[in-house]
Structure 1
Amino acid sequence: MNQNWRSVVVRHLLLLLAACGLLGLISGEYAWSLVLGLGAYLAWHIKQLLRLYIWLRDRKPDEAPPEGYGLWGEVFDNIYHLQRRDQRVRGRLQAVIDRVQDSTAALRDAVIMLDSDGNLEWWNRAAETLLGLKTPQDSGQPITNLVRHPRFKEYFEQGNYQEALELPSPVNDHQRLQLQITQYGNADHLMLVRDVTRIHQLEQMRKDFVANVSHELRTPLTVIAGYLETLLDNVEDVNPRWVRALQQMQQQGARMQNLLNDLLLLAKLEATDYPSDNQPVPVDLLLLSIKNDAQALSATRNHRISLEADASVRLKGSEAELRSAFSNLVFNAVKYTPDEGEIRIRWWHDDTGAHFSVSDSGIGIEAKHLPRLTERFYRVDSSRASHTGGTGLGLAIVKHVLLRHRARLGITSVPGKGSTFTCHFPPQQVSMRG
């Protein structure tokens, strides 16, 4: 209330008191005159207050407040102006919301808003096409009740949304979807879903091509390697000029066979999501065997190889696949660590799951190469391939084995000081020995 209205109220009260005094002078009852005057003044204010209450209770949208006089007229006018301002603000906000909804409705990708518990709050039309959501009956339903794939439930509940998840559509088994969840606000979720069927088909064609070509090349390569071995077994009957050429051909043939074997193994790993055999694997015994093989590979290079393994921690999965992944990491450490170097193998367990690491004192890797190390045929240095005889597929195999066991690979390295490769397995893959 401004200063003018304060003076108006004071003036009205003074007039009221003057009228009560005059009435008391006429009647001789000053006390009763004052009580009647103040009672009438109070009744009038209560009446105005009741008018305001009834309007607030029963008002229709955009209905103006009732007419008033004096102080209450000022109150009603202020309420009216606040009401109009609120309507303008709500109108602007609604226009923004309508524009956002219209723009997201035009997207071919699905946009879904979930609360902190994963219940559906809002979605666009593409979500109805890709996921089969229905308006309005699915509103408030948990998303895991509508997208029932086990991998999605696991992905949603674990809360780690750094990587997108690829699944078949719940509406069409021939359609492939990629789901990405982002948390915002008070742990609410924004889920984006896109149709990647075409990309999946192209990727599948690539996998089939590599697998088929690798399989078809094995037979002629085996024949060639067999004849080369026969010729070298009878080297005294061969022209001396051809001996070195035959030896190099045999060496390169063996390298090609290793490459084909790795390609076929990758194709096999990519064919299914999880290993067919999922039994507890005694990792400590597995690592002891790999350590002995690494010691034999080191031979005269005299690497110091140590093993620290918790015998009580087992891992659910395929022993053959885990052996392939772990041995790749250990043998790489042997290949890239100078003579007399140190290699440390560890297997341990904590609250976040189980962990396998291989640390070496080797040549190290520059940081710019680390994100691409698990790509097929990626070389940090092309000269390394000829020096070590690797196929360039070892870390790609490691990556796919870990994906099939719900694990991830962490790499840290300092050039000139060595590298550490760590496999992190979630608690659900761990089996403790009783």
Structure 2
Amino acid sequence: MCFQLNQNWYGTLIRHMLMLVAAALVAGVISNQYGWSLAIGLGLYLAWTLKQLLRLHDWLSSHKADEPPPDGYGLWGEVFDSIYHLQRRDQRVRGRLQAVIDRVQESTAALRDAVIMLDSEGNLEWWNRAAETLLGLKTPQDSGQSVSNLVRHPRFKEYFEQGNYAEPLEIPSPTNDRMRIQLLITRYGNNEHLMLVRDVTRIHQLEQMRKDFVANVSHELRTPLTVIFGYLETLLDNVEEVNPRWVRALQQMHQQGGRMQTLLNDLLLLAKLEATDYPSDSYPIEVGTLLKTIKGDAQALSANKNQQISLNLESEVQLKGSETELRSAFSNLIFNAVKYTPAEGKIHIRWWADEHGAHLSVQDSGIGIETKHLPRLTERFYRVDSSRASNTGGTGLGLAIVKHVLLRHRGTLEINSVPGKGSVFICHFPAIQLINP
């Protein structure tokens, strides 16, 4: 249509020019002044064209939506009509788009979950009614305000500024301390943010009940188990006075009692880690010294397996946090490498720092783990192979403890493994957790 319209314009323009030249030639024959006739003709045509431009300008600057275009002749009539049709088409398209926007806003306004649109700087642009209930936003006075100034929780401020939104954040609601909300941020467009907020109070209460139950049961079982384990040790210390046919049974009971004590200790530690967000004792920790101690314990655990355990300390940077918790996490990773690496195998421990923070990697040449198991390794009691845990005496809580210790120190755990070739576990700590000696 545009190509055909352009052709019509060209034809009309050529006809006008031919008519102008013909009229100037006739006037030149009559007056015998061909140059003046042509100049006067061009001047009149230019004046008429300027008049049409002024009419077009006045119509575009003052016309209403349904006001028809001014009457025009020839080429200018087609120009007026074409602009008018384009405007009408644009109005129809904008009407359809506005209808879609209205339906989207109506549907999101009816959601129980909050939907908040933020610009690239984190300022509020739009939100639905649920956001007023869950976050306490007020319309319209909060429009344009920074979301960090309205959601005044230190964990949210840190979460938003870090820009790592792979995992959702759970915090108390600003409007009600008894309500727990979960926030998930997604980037879109020109680095703008879409924030989804949902009420997870019920889920949080159920999770808290589970934690309390596990912690209470573990605590209550500890005392009777200690008594039973103590009597078993006493009997084994006096094994010569025991009927020989009971010796093996006592040894097995003693072994399983030790596993139960280890399991209870891990459950209590995990319950303690889940109780608070950050460690109560936060001091500078010399990671190099800590890793040297753990390496020595790992070599003792390796015993006759003749494994090659190496430690490479590439940085003297210190970590800010709880030494007890970090010792537990690092020990779990290194001892796991010893347990699941065959004799004559290699285990390499590396500590280094770069512009992204500090990192600890534990690499082994063990049996490896299939890719499908990697996302679930940090779940409580998750077993890649049930026989492996019984052979190594594991509780299934080691990596769960590692995960929670890292979360309390703002760290993350990366796991890579190839079956038959080994695994590498990497702890990443952000720069905010580092202290330069």
State whether TM-score is above 0.5.
Answer: yes
1:243 aligns with 247
Specify the code of the residue in structure 1 equivalent to 2:120.
S
Task: Go from structure 1 to structure 2 and tell me whether the alpha carbon gap of 1:309 and 1:34 turns closer, same or farther (over 3 Å shift).
Answer: closer
Distance 2:42 2:250 in 1: 122
Deviations 1:272-310 (A, max 9, x none): 111112211000000111111111112222222111113
State which drifts further: 268-277 or 68-77.
68-77
CA–CA distance in structure 2, aligned partners of residues 231 and 133 of structure 1: 68
Matches within 5 A, 1:284-323: 284-310=288-314, 312-323=316-327
| Partner of residue 275, structure 1 | 279
| Counterpart pick for 1:330 among 334, 339, 351 | 334
CA distance in 1, matches of 2:51, 2:122: 50
Query: Residues of 1 paired with 2:202 and 2:129: CA distance?
Result: 21
Aligned-pair CA distance for 1:15: 6.1
Q: 2:426 is matched with which residue?
A: 422
Runs of 4 or more consecutive aligned structure 1 residues displaced over 6 Å after TM superposition: 28-33
Q: Distance in 2 between matches of 1:348 and 1:55?
A: 71
User: Displacement, 1:249?
Assistant: 1.5
Q: Residue 334 and residue 32 in structure 1: after superposition, are their counterparts in 2 closer, same or farther (change >3 A)?
A: closer
How far apart in 2 are the matches of 1:225 and 1:315?
A: 38
Aligned to 1:262: 266
Which of 63, 67, 82 in structure 2 is aligned with 1:63?
67
Contact 2:307-2:343 within 8 A present in 1 as well = yes
Shift of 1:110: 1.6
- In structure 2, the residue matched to 1:9 is 16
Question: CA separation in 2, counterparts of 1:395 and 1:33?
Answer: 98
| Residue 216, structure 1, aligned to residue 220, structure 2 | yes
Counterpart Cα distance in 2 of 1:254 and 1:261: 11
The Cα of 1:325 is off from its aligned counterpart by 0.2
Distance 1:19 1:142 in 2: 75
- With the length of structure 2 as denominator, give the TM-score of the two structures: 0.92
1:384 to 384, 388, 409: 388
The aligned residue for residue 161 of structure 1 is 165
Distance in structure 1 (CA, Å) of the matches to 2:118 and 2:178: 26
Mapped contact 2:24–2:34 kept (Cα < 8 A) = no
Measure how far apart 1:7 and its partner are: 4.6
Residue 11 of structure 1 deviates from its aligned partner by 5.0
CA distance in 1, matches of 2:401, 2:376: 14
Once residues 174 and 64 of structure 1 are traced to their aligned partners in structure 2, the CA distance between those partners, rounded to angstroms, is 62
Q: Provide the rounded CA distance (Å) in 2 between the counterparts of 1:414 and 1:71.
A: 74
- What is the aligned partner in structure 1 of residue 3 from structure 2? none
1:84 counterpart residue number: 88
Contact preservation (8 Å) 2:21, 2:38: no
Whole-angstrom distance in 2 between the partners of 1:65 and 1:147: 53
* RMSD, matched Cα: 2.1
Give identity over the alignment, percent. 76
Distance 1:19 1:110 in 2: 79
Aligned-residue offset at 1:14: 4.0
What whole-Å deviation, never above 9, does each CA across 1:215-247 have from its counterpart, x for those lacking one? 111111112122222333333333322222222
Secondary structure of the structure 2 residue equivalent to 1:173: strand
> What are the ranges of 5 or more consecutive residues in structure 1 without an aligned counterpart?
none
Q: How many residues align?
A: 430
